[in-house]
Amino acid sequence: MKKTVLLLLSLILFAALIAAEPPLKIGFLYVGPIGDEGWSYAHDLGRLSLEAHFGTRIETVYRESVPEGAETGPYVEQLLQEGCSVIFGTSFGFMDALYDCSLRYPKAHFFHCSGYKTGSNMSAYFGRIYEPSFLAGLVAGSMTHSGKIGYVSPVAIPEVIRIANGFALGVRAINPSARIYLMWTNSWYDPALEEYAAQSLIEQGCDVLAQQTDSSAPVITAEERGVWTVGYNSDMRAEAPTKMLTSPVWDWGFYYKEVVGKILEDSYRHGNYWEGLASGIVLLTPLSDKVPEETRQIVHDYETRLFAGTFHPFQGPLHDQANRLRIPAERVMTDAELLSMDWFVDNVIMAVP
């Protein structure tokens, strides 16, 4: 009887200790507003998925429209002072501030999206979204009649160039004569500039629009102007119900749950995460019912090969815009080459307003 009582008391004490343990506080930094329907919105869906999964074991906070560069530091410091021991910085321009803080706060965990700096308490993470972007390019290439596909692009960094090239290679695989007309906004999130770029590309004869910018302005413009569109970051069908073809999107919740689960178990080891379709972190939304069956089958075949690892979008021969051979036949670009990519493939044309 005494042993039973002692066992019950021990269980009650253990349960009380667990209940008394404070939740793991996690901070998120977003470069845009969470209502942008794009990049920051997709990350916030991941945060909400994280909360739903772990419940009271965690607490999350976030900051929207955080400036990049030297101005990021105070936002990171503020989250740390508020008790966050895990911080996810979700834009390339947050990298240096996160890395500096990681050196000064060795007991905290830092995660930087789309960058390359890592350390004993800092990881870099991203997904190979060039894979579903290639598939989206197949769809876009099959739907253009003018042979001109507009592409609204944010800033000229390797991440953006790599993803645009993935899309362009998909277009080329199904429609070798089509061209991608790429226009820069020089901003991740600027709905007015994105709309202006979209309108300009349509005026120049583009009958399909794609994007890498963060707002839904390009797809809304496409819907209003009656041209096909490919979204990005999140499922934007509600914004272009009759003209949306598909979207390469993220499931950030997949990654956040995996990482936080390991931190709670004290088993996480920092490093570089860069996975593709087979992992679940990136995917392609369902195709429009206007996409022909023949195209659907082609997309399915390429998707199957991507999942199996028997096809790589960046396999040579690949030429740049000056028709120089960059990657010889049969050779696949290395991760190091992809991560530093600073050239466009030969079916991309720089558009001007």
Task: Give pLDDT tens digits for 51-92.
Answer: 999 999 999 999 999 999 999 999 999 999 999 999 999 999
Token pair in block for residue 133:
């972007």
- Identity of the residue numbered 102: S
Predicted local confidence at residue 21, as pLDDT:
84
**Which segments within the chain are labelled E, that is strand?**
24-29, 58-63, 86-89, 109-113, 122-127, 148-153, 179-184, 208-211, 228-230, 244-246, 248-250, 272-275, 282-284, 318-319, 325-327, 348-350
3-state secondary structure of 220: helix
Q: Any bridge partners for residue 58, and if so which?
A: 24
pTM exceeds cut of 0.85: yes
Predicted local confidence at residue 17, as pLDDT:
44
Q: Any bridge partners for residue 28, and if so which?
A: 62, 88
Torsion angle in degrees (nearest 10) through CA of 48, 37, 207, 182: -90
Instruction: Please state, as a whole number, how many other Cβ atoms lie within 10 Å of the Cβ of residue 267.
Output: 8
CA distance 299 to 312: 14
Predicted local confidence at residue 13, as pLDDT:
47
Residue segments in the chain with a per-residue pLDDT below the cut of 70: 1-20
Instruction: Please state, as a whole number, how many other Cβ atoms lie within 10 Å of the Cβ of residue 340.
Output: 12
Predicted local confidence at residue 9, as pLDDT:
46
Q: Which helix (H) or strand (E) holds 10?
A: helix 2-20
The burial of 328, by beta-carbon neighbours within 10 Å (0-12 exposed, 13-18 middle, 19 or more buried), is given as exposed
- Quickly list DSSP for 62-130: EE-SPPPGGGGHHHHHHHHHTT-SEEEE-SGGGHHHHHHHHHH-TTSEEEEES----BTTEEEEEE-TH
Token pair in block for residue 293:
């069956």
Whether 328 and 168 have beta carbons less than 8 Å apart is answered as no
The burial of 15, by beta-carbon neighbours within 10 Å (0-12 exposed, 13-18 middle, 19 or more buried), is given as exposed
| Domains of the chain (ranges, CATH numbers) | 18-127+251-279 (3.40.50.2300), 130-247+285-350 (3.40.50.2300)
